[in-house]
Amino acid sequence: MSDDLQTGDLGVSFRQSRKELYFMVASWVVFAGWTISYVGLKGGIKEGEALQLVWGMPEWVVFGILIPWIFGLGLTVWFALRFMKDTDLDPAAYDGSNGEEGK
């Protein structure tokens, strides 16, 4: 489980959120690169070649989509449970901030 970040400092909390944002965008680039390039290269009809099946699916589906999907699942679990930090969301915890809940 991730470390707690309940410092009561909004600036620290904001910088952590921004760090998580950068990680997330970088992950998106990696997964987009994998699926788009692999399927783009391997997914087309190959004249004269028999259809290659893996687990009952076309080969390009397994290596270009299913396997990255499983990795994506693993990364999401790790990101959520290890990388992302808890933050106190209550505005009363920050100096100079007071929510106007439900007005």
Partner 1 sequence: MTALISFFVYLALVFVLAGIANHAGKNKSFLNEYFLGSRNIGVWAFALTYAATAASGGSFMGFPSLIYTHGWSLAWWICGYMVVPLVALGLLAKRINQVSRIAGAITIPELLRRRFESNAVGNLATVMVVFFMFFFLMAQFKAGAQIMATLLEGVPVYQSAAFGLEALVEGIPWIGEAEGDYLLCLIVFAVSVIVYTTYGGFRAVVWTDVMQGLVMAVGVVIMLVLALTQVGGLGNATKQLSEMTPPEFMEVEVTRGSENTLVEKQLPRGTWLESGGGDIIRLKSATTIQSGADKSESVEAIRLTTPFEIEKVKEQGSVLEGYRYNVVGEVETYAYGAGKRGVYTSTPGPSRDSPSGFITVLIAFSFFAFWNFSGAGQPSYMVRQMAFKDTLTLRRSMVMVAFYFALIYFPLVIIFTCARVLLPGMEIYPDRVMPEMASILTINAGMPWLAGLLVAAPFAAVMSSVDSFLLLVSSGVVRDIYQESINPNANEKQIKRLTYGVTMVVGMLGVLAVMHPPQFLQHLIVFASAGLGACFLMPMIFALYWKKATAGGIVSGMLAGGLTVLALYLAGYMQTGKFGEYLLLGLHPFIWAVVVSTILICLISIKGTPPAERVQRRYFGGEQR
Beta bridge mates, 4: 86
Task: Name residues whose C-beta falls within 8 Å of residue 62's C-beta, 6 or more positions apart in sequence.
Answer: 54, 55
We find the least distance from the C-beta atom of residue 92 to partner 1, in angstroms, to be: 9
> Based on C-alpha coordinates, what's the Rg of the chain?
22
Dist. CA 103–CA 94, nearest whole Å: 20
The reply on whether position 19 binds partner 1 by CB under 8 A is no
The residues that touch partner 1, with contacts defined as CB under 8 A, are 2, 9-15, 17-18, 20-21, 23-25, 27-28, 31-32, 35-36, 39-40, 43-45, 51, 53, 55-58, 60-61, 64-66, 68-69, 72-73, 75-77, 79-81, 84-87, 89-91, 94-97, 99-103
